[in-house]
Structure 1
Amino acid sequence: MSIREATADDWPAIWPFFHKIVAAGDTFTYPTGLSEEDGPGWWLLAAPNRTVVAVDDGTGTVLGTAKMNNNQGGNGAHVASASYMVDPAHGGRGVGRALVEYSLDWARERGFRGMQFNAVVETNVHAVRLYERLGFRVVGTVPEAFHHPVRGYVGLHVMHRPL
């Protein structure tokens, strides 16, 4: 597997799993009815931010994607943020871990002092566990800030780790 810069030409490969994940409504705060035409505006970031894809070296299949950016502007611009999506058909193969590690390296190389996730759904236990294994900790939880389609109102974790 390799990770490279995403381009607009990757969108047709990203869209099927992006759509499936967003439409499920259980992990992202994006509108569940987001269209294929509107999706790139939510995911494909322009420089100095970055969007990447994880690609199977043998087949060229896009396995997952990540977007990386500063969490805030101005006096808060020294903290990075990122979001990740792994095609469910390729879960459990280390794609998510590789994308998180890549984004941490990206942030360090650019001089960020930390990385913060603003909205990790508390019921997304696989993501929370991965982030904690990679040094993040929950610094707070906003109660009932996310309307989960099955579990009702659940919390959103704010997670952080220093770089």
Structure 2
Amino acid sequence: MSEPTDRRIRPATDDDWPRIWPFFAAIVADGETYAYPDELTAEEGRDLWLERPPGLTVVLEDGGRVLGTAKMGPNRPGRGDHVGTASFMVAPAESGRGLGRALASYVVDWHREHGYAGIQFNAVVETNLAAVGLWQSLGFEIVGTVPGAFRSATEGRVGLHVMYLGLD
């Protein structure tokens, strides 16, 4: 029997930040998936995470609780703005419930609806097997790996994958 759910994904607001920050800070402090500074303040985190147009940040809520978030938009400005990018975070206590897949599907659909030619992830930590597997299951390919470009808290220097999904 599946658990009841009242999941919805909606645009994030400034009022959501206090509910995002606790798991954002925990994920960054874990040192395994994001190359953000260790001593990041809540204000600095908000400035990094909450996108401005043409980008968008969303939250995934279930029963009024924010359990995950994603940000998306152009990977590069100007002549590179036809390829999008995105970043995702799910509260660690909520992993394994399909929240990352729901956010990922939302992001792919959003990029398609906004006319992007593809989605490029610039820095997927190669030891983050759950993320790499999720992206590959959605059709993303590893187009290159920068060896030793990420300092994992537990594994030392590991590679960062560049992953791509064509949408044309």
> Are 1:12 and 2:1 matched, yes or no?
no
| 2:4 matched residue in structure 1 | none
Preserved CA contact (<8 Å) 1:24 1:32: no
Structure 1: unaligned runs, 5 residues or longer:
none
Q: CA deviation at 1:113?
A: 0.4
Amino acid at match of 1:120: V
1:41 matched to 2:47:
yes
Say whether residues 1:133 and 2:100 are aligned partners.
no
Query: How far is 1:146 from its partner?
Result: 0.5
SS in 2 for 1:141: strand
**CA shift at 1:55, angstroms?**
0.3
- How far apart are residue 37 of structure 1 and its match? 1.8
For the residues of structure 2 that align with 1:125 and 1:7, how far apart are their CA atoms? 30
CA contact (8 A) 1:84 1:99 kept: yes
Q: Is the 8 A contact 1:122 1:128 kept in 2?
A: yes
Q: Aligned partners of 1:134, 1:32: CA distance in 2, in Å?
A: 31
The answer to whether structure 1 residue 23 and structure 2 residue 38 are counterparts is no
Q: Which amino acid aligns with 1:34?
A: L
1:122 aligns with 2:134: no
Alignment partner, residue 92 of structure 1:
96
Residue 29 of structure 1 and its aligned partner are, at CA, apart by 1.1
For 1:3 and 1:48, how far apart are their aligned partners in 2? 18
User: 2:66 pairs with 62, 65, 75, which one?
Assistant: 62
Counterparts in 2 of 1:124-163, with a 5 A limit? 124-163=128-167
Q: Secondary structure at the match of 1:38?
A: helix
Report the Cα offset of residue 39 of structure 1.
Answer: 0.9
Q: Provide the secondary structure at the position in 1 that maps to 2:42.
A: coil
What TM-score do the two structures reach when normalised by structure 1? 0.97
Deviations, residues 90-111 of structure 1 (Å, cap 9, x unaligned) = 1111100010110111101110
**Contact 2:54/2:74, CA 8 A, preserved across alignment:** no
TM-score norm. by structure 2 comes to 0.94
The aligned length equals 161
Q: Which one-letter code corresponds to 2:34 in the other structure?
A: F
CA RMSD of aligned residues (A): 0.7
Task: Assess if the C-alpha contact under 8 Å between 1:26 and 1:148 holds in 2.
Answer: yes
Q: Distance in 2 between matches of 1:110 and 1:2?
A: 20
Report the Cα offset of residue 135 of structure 1: 0.4
In structure 2, runs of 5+ residues without a counterpart are 1-6
Q: Using the alignment, how far apart are the partners of 1:132 and 1:61 within structure 2?
A: 29
Runs of 4+ off more than 2 Å: none
